[in-house]
């Protein structure tokens, strides 16, 4: 039973959200809008705003037209040259990034093989686990960074072909 009252109260909430709007202009010309009547104000009656669907809105461009008519054009040979230059630059960046990835993996391997040691006051050596973990995390981050860069460059190259 309480659920029904709660449901009825929730359904009535939008009705309570309605309010009248009043507009008042003072002697200096300042406009004030209010939800309560002010001396000398006028009640404003607003019509519901017209909504348009994006699918029914008229398009300013035709479907076949991708740019304005006066937009500068590039001939095919120039565009192919630009594409080839872009492809060459991306391939060079990919090769450099793959080299950096290999170096980062090698550094990680070496870092894992050489744990950090700490000499105690008694002359014994102990593993410095915190420093080792920090070093390995940094090296792993470098490997991840270079792997992500290689993947991004490969994606860009695949878009050009």
Give the whole-angstrom CA distance, residue 19 versus residue 32: 16
Both tokens assigned to 91:
């391939």
Name the domain count of the chain: 1
Domain span including residue 108 = 95-160
Residue 57: CB atoms within 10 Å? 8
- Whether 16 is in a domain gets the answer no
Say what the pLDDT of residue 89 is. Answer: 95
Global pTM value: 0.51
* Better-scored residue on pLDDT, 75 or 50: 75
Q: What is the mean pLDDT of residues 128-134?
A: 88
Is the confidence at residue 18, as pLDDT, over 60?
Answer: yes
Q: What is the mean pLDDT of residues 109-123?
A: 84
């Amino acid at each position: 039973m309480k659920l029904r009252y709660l449901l009825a109260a929730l359904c009535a909430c939008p009705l309570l959200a309605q309010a009248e709007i009043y507009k008042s202009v003072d002697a200096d010309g300042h406009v004030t809008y209010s939800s309560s009547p002010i001396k000398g104000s006028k009640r404003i009656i607003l019509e519901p705003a017209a909504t348009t669907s994006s699918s029914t809105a008229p398009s300013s461009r035709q479907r076949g037209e991708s740019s304005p008519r006066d937009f500068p054009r590039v001939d095919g040979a120039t565009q192919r040259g630009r594409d080839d230059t872009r492809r060459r630059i991306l391939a060079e960046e990919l090769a450099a990034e793959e080299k950096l990835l290999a170096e980062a993996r090698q550094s990680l391997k070496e870092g894992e093989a050489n744990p950090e040691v700490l000499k105690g006051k008694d002359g014994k050596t102990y593993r410095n686990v915190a420093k080792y973990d920090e070093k390995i995390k940094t090296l792993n981050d470098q490997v991840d960074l270079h792997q992500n860069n290689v993947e991004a460059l490969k994606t860009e190259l695949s878009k050009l072909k």
